[in-house]
Amino acid sequence: MNAQSDTVSLIKGNEAIAKGALAAGCQCYFAYPITPQSDIPEYLSGELPRQGGEFIQAESEIGAINMLLGVAACGKRAMTSSSSPGISLKQEGISYLAGSELPGVIVNITRGSPGLGSIDPSQGDYYQATRGGGHGDYRMLVLAPSTCQEAYDLTIRAFDLAFAYRNPVMILGDAILGQMKEPVLERRETVDTSQEASEWALSGAKDRPRRLIKSLYLADGALAEHNERLQAKYQEMHKEQDWEEFATQDSQVLVVAFGSVGRIAKSAIRMLRGQGYRIGLFRPVTLYPFPSERLRELAKNNSLITIENNAGQMVDDVRLAVRNVSDSAFHGVMPGKLPSAEDFLTPILHVWEQNSQIAQAAER
């Protein structure tokens, strides 16, 4: 590692992701313009070639994800980014990446959906991201930043995870994260990744047997065996569970929220703490694998409310995590509406009241 002086700059979340990719040693980046993520291709179209990398404005989202697949097959670090409708188009390629066990980073700066929706914030793509999205029984690691700094750091981590597991990794942000500006501390060190794929990547069959990267398994039993191996890998990924806890040391009600909604919920919790309510926050950073074990532990001493900028998607994972121990209330702000901390106060206090009544009944 070649350490240089770190710098802090005031940048948008989208730019933080682009800079994170460069810091991670991303060599190729392909994308198609779509709001609210176009700052990423605009930034990398200049910076990546300057640093010796390859940028292509692809003819389509499908073209972009398949260019990434080609780079991944050569064991090089590559990224693509888009927003909700564009991510739908990439699903075929993501399934092939998973089936062929190829690493790559896919950024989804989500927008209001379904259909063309709007360019407003939304968390409506949670299911699509965490359930695979494309055809087949595969999973992707999904990282959900809530600040520009986290967007930068998690982008670097996404590349490392993609190569550690030979699997696609998604950064799931939203229009709030992509468009807001915050100070970001940039890592100024270069990491040598030249040998990370030397055991499997294509490079021409010189002085070794030829290599084949594919997802087609027609021989009797071969696909089932391949799927067994993939599932074992997805189990292995569970050790990557990551989350943020805020004010959980004495909390009685726990808000579960991810990404931008997680930080808005934190503001609401600060307001309520000021009034003496013991509320805490659990913010999953990895959406897949979902940090179930820790949440289950916290659920023993907390009543839960899950808050999302959708009609209720992550709440399924919350309820699965705490099944037979607890349950979770839900408050949803529909995609297309910018959530505010004030919006969350009444739903949280409602759970607090219910929790108090249950506690009083138990005392009687």
Q: Is 190 in the site for other proteins (CB under 8 A)?
A: no
Which residues make Cβ contacts (< 8 Å) with residue 163, sequence separation at least 6? 77, 103, 193, 196, 197
Task: Starting at the earlier edge strand, list the strands of the sheet with 78-82.
Answer: 54-57, 28-31, 78-82, 104-110, 168-174, 141-143, 286-288
Encoded tokens for 118? 């709007």
How does strand 168-174 pair with strand 104-110? Answer: parallel
Residue closer to other proteins by CB (options 63, 332) is: 63
The C-alpha angle 71, 75, 77, rounded to 5 degrees, equals 65
CB 165, CB 236: distance < 8 Å:
yes
Residue type (1 letter), 31: A
Among 39-47, 67-75, 254-262, 282-290, the segment contacting other proteins (CB under 8 A): 67-75
Q: Does residue 32 contact residue 207 with C-beta atoms inside 8 Å?
A: no
**Dihedral angle at the C-alpha atoms of 210, 214, 218, 220, nearest 10 degrees?**
70
Tell me the number of residues near other proteins by CB under 8 A.
Answer: 39
Quote the least distance from Cβ 354 to other proteins, whole Å.
Answer: 50
Task: Please tell me whether residue 25 binds other proteins under the rule CB under 8 A.
Answer: no
Strands 7-12 and 181-186: antiparallel
**Given the rule CB under 8 A, which of 63-71, 166-174, 286-294, 309-317 is the region that contacts other proteins?**
63-71
100 sits near other proteins (criterion: CB under 8 A)? yes
> Which is nearer to other proteins, 30 or 344 (by Cβ)?
30
Q: Taking contact as CB under 8 A, which single stretch among the options 32-40, 68-76, 266-274, 317-325 is the one that binds other proteins?
A: 68-76
Closest approach, Cβ 94 to other proteins, in A, equals 10
Interaction between residue 56 and other proteins (CB under 8 A): yes
Provide, rounded to whole angstroms, the least separation between the CB of residue 165 and other proteins: 19
Which CB sits closer to other proteins, 66 or 306?
A: 66
Structure tokens at 247: 């004010």
Residue 223 engages other proteins in binding (rule: CB under 8 A): no
Pick 74 or 180: Cβ nearer other proteins: 74
Binding of residue 71 to other proteins (CB under 8 A):
yes
Q: Report yes or no: 106 and 81 within 8 Å, Cβ to Cβ.
A: yes
How many residues belong to the chain?
364
Instruction: Kindly state whether residue 203 participates in binding other proteins, applying the rule CB under 8 A.
Output: yes
**Taking CB under 8 A as the rule, does residue 51 contact other proteins?**
no
Amino acid at 156: I
Tell me which of 215, 241, 248, 292 binds other proteins, using CB under 8 A: 215
d(CA 342, CA 359): 26
Kindly tell me the sign of the dihedral angle through the C-alpha atoms of 178, 181, 185, 187: positive
Is residue 59 involved in binding other proteins (CB under 8 A)?
yes
* Cβ neighbours of 153 (radius 10 Å): 19
Options 17, 24, 28, 171; binder of other proteins; rule CB under 8 A: 28
Check residue 63 for interaction with other proteins (CB under 8 A): yes
CA atoms within 13 A on the CB side of 157: 18
Does the footprint of other proteins cover residue 279 (CB under 8 A)?
no
> Residue 3 or residue 219: which is nearer to other proteins going by CB?
219
Q: Which residues bind to other proteins, rule: CB under 8 A? A: 27-28, 30, 54, 56, 58-60, 62-64, 66-74, 76, 78, 92-93, 96, 100, 202-207, 210-216
